[in-house]
Amino acid sequence: MGKGEGSTKADNKKELEEANAVMQAWKYALGFTELAVLKCAIELGVADEIETQGGAATLSQLSAALNCSYTSLYRIMRFLVHNRVFKAKAAATQEATTYLQTALSRRLLKGGEKSMASLILFESTPIMLAPWHGLSAWVSSNKVAPPPFEAAHGQDIWAYTAQDPEHSRLLDEAMACDARLAAAAVIGSCPEVFEGIEVMVDVGGGNGTFVGMMVKVLPQIKGINFDLPHVVSIGPHWNGVEHAGGNMFESIPKADATFLLKVLHDWSDSECIQILKKCKEAIAEDNNDDSISDGKQIKKKRKKVVIVEAVIDDDYDDEEQDEQGSQLQSWTGVRLGLDMVMMAHTNGGKERTRTEWAHVLNEAGFSSFSIKPTSAVQSIIEAFP
């Protein structure tokens, strides 16, 4: 290879990199469109209508049923098909184009076990989007300025939702979407975590979806759904679950195990340690002893705190992630994205690495812990006093 040939190849590579960079920058500039168009499709009920029509519907059927502009709907569907949300079967005319449901579009259904619509609608409310505009101001103030949510709304997210019932309901439904997915992954892949537990309290359990689903599968467990009074007061009835209102920084109902799903990530390390100490107190009482039944000794499991959170890899390495394939890479992306959400929406919350979990658990007085991955974005952390 001559000198000139080599430099041409290098020049081509550089040009390609530059062109890609421009394209990527455009994608980021328009990044919001993905969320906005998904929100639009959910509000219009596109996936629901395709489901009603048996999993496939033509553009003319959709625009008639949804009573919306045929040309606008065509453009929206073209964008969503390009982004692999729906599939399309081309036809001789635009009106006859058939749109088909996919695994992803079923997540946009307004109801059902697999729906993630409430999560998308909640994250795209003006209330949840406003704090993002204050992220750089907060970071550059070296955390001296009020955190982004407070800067936008004058109070933290929990005080805000306490005085806005509609936003509180949206938050509960958004969390319940993921609680359904987490319940299936956690109980399905690691049922042994709940063995020997007679009473379990779900701390910050929202509307009780996780504990309600758990008790359905494991009816030997009595569930307590513990959350702020205004949250549990509108929680639905779940067989085998009692709602209890209170403040986890003050006192948590007694149980064999305390459970926290997506709660500790809302809080700074020092607040996390306070909550964990209260969880430890809640499981601290006498009945750690074995019991005798029919002359047989029944071994009680060790009392514990079960935490379900997205755990960020300590030795996270972008290049290694790329080599390991898209599944791992995309969960890492979601976990890092969730960490950014915590930065924008909470006063000091974060997704933690194993080392950071070891720190808060150790400071709260736990003697040991283990982390098990699940098929969901979260892992299960079992912590023992």
Closest approach, Cβ 365 to ligand SAM, in A, equals: 20
| Interface with ligand SAM, residue 369, by CB under 6 A | no
Closest approach, Cβ 349 to ligand SAM, in A, equals: 9
Which helix (H) or strand (E) covers residue 242, if one does?
strand 241-245
Contacts of 43 (CB under 8 A, 6+ apart): 121
Nearer to ligand SAM by Cβ, of 45 and 205: the residue is 205
| Interface with ligand SAM, residue 156, by CB under 6 A | no
Locate all alpha helices (DSSP H) within 53-95, ordered by sequence. 59-66, 70-82
Catalytic residue among 82, 133, 230, 265: 265
| Interface with ligand SAM, residue 206, by CB under 6 A | yes
Q: Residue 125 gets which letter from DSSP?
A: S
Pairing type for strands 368-373 and 379-384 reads antiparallel
| Interface with ligand SAM, residue 147, by CB under 6 A | no
In the numeric block, the tokens 């195990």 are attached to 257
The separation between CA 258 and the C-alpha centre of its own chain, rounded to angstroms, equals: 20
Nearer to ligand SAM by Cβ, of 26 and 249: the residue is 249
Instruction: Give the Å distances, CA to CA, from 190 to 158, 194, 300, 302.
Output: 31, 8, 18, 16
**x/- contact string, 322-341, with ligand SAM (CB under 6 A)?**
--------------------
**x/- contact string, 163-182, with ligand SAM (CB under 6 A)?**
------------xx--x---
Instruction: Give the Å distances, CA to CA, from 194 to 100, 138, 188, 260, 343.
Output: 40, 41, 11, 13, 32
Closest approach, Cβ 297 to ligand SAM, in A, equals: 35
| Residues 164 and 146 sit within 8 Å (Cβ to Cβ) | no
Closest approach, Cβ 309 to ligand SAM, in A, equals: 10
Closest approach, Cβ 375 to ligand SAM, in A, equals: 17
Nearer to ligand SAM by Cβ, of 45 and 349: the residue is 349
Q: How many chain residues bind ligand SAM (CB under 6 A)?
A: 18
Pairing type for strands 222-227 and 241-245 reads parallel
Which helix (H) or strand (E) covers residue 162, if one does?
helix 157-162
| Residues 225 and 242 sit within 8 Å (Cβ to Cβ) | yes
Nearer to ligand SAM by Cβ, of 6 and 112: the residue is 112
**x/- contact string, 234-273, with ligand SAM (CB under 6 A)?**
-------------xxx-----------xxx--x-------
| Residues 97 and 58 sit within 8 Å (Cβ to Cβ) | yes
Nearer to ligand SAM by Cβ, of 61 and 209: the residue is 209
CB atoms within 10 A of CB 71: 11
Nearer to ligand SAM by Cβ, of 250 and 294: the residue is 250
| Interface with ligand SAM, residue 231, by CB under 6 A | yes
Is 265 among the catalytic positions? yes
CA-based nearest residue to 345, from 149, 141, 152, 153: 149
Which one of 48, 150, 227, 256 is in contact with ligand SAM (CB under 6 A)?
Answer: 227
Read off φ and ψ for residue 200, nearest 5 degrees. Answer: -125, 130
In the numeric block, the tokens 């709940």 are attached to 194
Q: What CA–CA distance (Å, rounded) separates 162 from 36? A: 27
Which one of 131, 204, 235, 349 is in contact with ligand SAM (CB under 6 A)?
Answer: 204
In the bound state, the residue with its beta carbon closest to ligand SAM is: 204
Which one of 45, 146, 148, 205 is in contact with ligand SAM (CB under 6 A)?
Answer: 205
Residues known to be catalytic: 265
Chain contacts with ligand SAM (rule: CB under 6 A): 158, 175-176, 179, 204-206, 209, 227-228, 231, 247-249, 261-263, 266
